[in-house]
Copies of this chain bind each other. A is one copy, B any other.
Amino acid sequence: MENINKFQTISKQALQRLPYYLNFLKSQKAKKQSNTSASMIAEGLRLNQVQVRKDLAAVSSGGRPKTGYGTEDLISDIEQFLGYNNTHDAILIGAGNLGRSLLSYKGFEECGMKIVAAFDIDKHVAGTEAGGHPIFPMEKLEDLAGRLKVKIGIIAVPAESAQEVCDLLVGSGILAIWNFAPVYLDAPEDILIQNENMAASLAVLSKHVEEKFGR
């Protein structure tokens, strides 16, 4: 039986676990472990064995009974799957406090994303730079994004202007948006919106402390 119909889909949660596996596998590699089993990963990351096994099955077919996966093979299968090999260019909009923090963060490139330019509505901010990235005025966005064929947009503007920026990005042919503004954006369904909200995470922490510590 051929596996023509076997569309291996993967849930968003599973997708988000993959970088953890990757990290663990790299530490295995550093320890000269040439093979790594799902059980080892599960134990190392304190996850359920079956979950790990299922996640890996969606990403690689190099698993062999009794031996597990070749550590390096699995690393490259996951990186391949996530598209870390082909670097994706990104632009960031909103060079305020958060935006500048993101611009100066160096960890994105090893995850296959490279910020190529930043934009800000404030004419005084435009023309400066942050973290080695030039900041342009908003008017240049559409032209530049189109010419550079950028596929990822990072929104770091205030809530009020986030939807507007989103529309602009969609119009410029962006495929995925990393949204740091505290709003749910409206976009065509083939555009992926990944919401990242520090306030949302803080809510979880704050609530827990409040509960445990009392008021």
Complex: how many Å from CA A73 to CA B15?
Answer: 39
1/0 per residue A19-34: CB within 8 Å of B? 1101110010000000
User: In the bound complex, do residue A20 and residue B197 qualify as a contact, i.e. CB atoms below 8 Å apart?
Assistant: yes
Smallest CB separation, A48 vs chain B (Å): 11
Main SS at interface, chain A: helix
Contacts A176-B208, A205-B192, A209-B176; A200 near B86 (Cβ below 8 A): no
A97 touches B107 (CB 8 A): yes
Nearest CB of B to A137, in Å: 24
Task: Using CB atoms, name the residue of chain B closest to A111.
Answer: B202
Closest to A190 in B: B212
Q: Is the CB of B201 within 8 A of A178?
A: yes
Known: A101-B104, A108-B198, A202-B112. A209 touches B83 (CB 8 A): yes
Given the complex of chains A and B, what is the CA–CA distance between A88 and B46 in angstroms? 29
Q: Quick check: A45 and B184 within 8 Å, CB to CB?
A: yes
With A15-B203, A19-B200, A106-B97 as given contacts, are A209 and B152 in contact (CB-CB < 8 Å)?
Answer: yes
- A175 x B19 contact (CB < 8 A): no
| Chain A contacts to B: CB under 8 angstroms | 12, 15-20, 22-24, 27, 45-47, 81-84, 86, 88, 97-98, 101-102, 104-108, 111-113, 151-152, 159-160, 175-176, 178, 182-184, 186, 190, 192, 194, 196-210, 212-213, 215
| Sample of 25 A–B contacts (CB below 8 Å) | A12-B204, A15-B200, A16-B197, A16-B200, A16-B203, A18-B200, A18-B203, A19-B182, A19-B197, A19-B199, A20-B182, A24-B183, A46-B184, A82-B203, A83-B207, A84-B206, A97-B105, A101-B104, A108-B198, A111-B203, A112-B206, A152-B205, A176-B208, A176-B209, A178-B201
